[in-house]
Amino acid sequence: MNYGVVEWVDRPWPVIMQRCLLKLWGMLQAKDEEISRLKMDIGKVNLKLENLVAAVESSNVNTMKIDRQKKQMGIYDTYVKHIHRSLTSAIHNLKDDKGDIKLDSDFLKEEVHKLKENTSKMQSVICDLLGQGCANTDDLLMIKSILEE
């Protein structure tokens, strides 16, 4: 008995058992290496995922800004369309009014022309009456009142 040294109590294992133990030990190390490799891959994937999430959030913010601008442009477009319709209607009404005024102007020009002709006829009749000496004051006053109208 050796009291100072710790020894294995069992007898030595057979070579096959030792090889199996080495193979199991190798499998355990391979599994540990695979786990550490997978953890590194998970870390890389998580980093990529975080980057993608940040990019999507940035894209969503940009999309929301663009949507808000489109909505504002749609509102402005609606306002512009209403203003355009109002202006078109006003221009159309002004053209109609211009046509009516032109007709009224033409009618008034004809009336003025007729009145000028009547005035010249009346003046010639008055001159004829004065020239013939048949004119009396009552007739002249009546003609004068007609001319003043």
**Helices (H), ranges, the chain:** 15-132, 137-148
- Going from N- to C-terminal start, the domains of the chain cover 15-148
Query: How many angstroms separate the CA atoms of 143 and 130, rounded?
Result: 13
pTM, two decimal places: 0.41
Query: How many angstroms separate the CA atoms of 121 and 38, rounded?
Result: 120
Q: What would the two tokens of residue 60 be?
A: 């969503």
Q: What is the pLDDT of residues 38-87, one digit of tens each?
A: 999 999 999 999 999 999 999 999 999 999 988 888 888 888 888 989 99
Give the pLDDT band (50/70/90) at residue 34: very high
Cβ(122)–Cβ(143) under 8 Å? yes
Query: How many angstroms separate the CA atoms of 72 and 2, rounded?
Result: 95
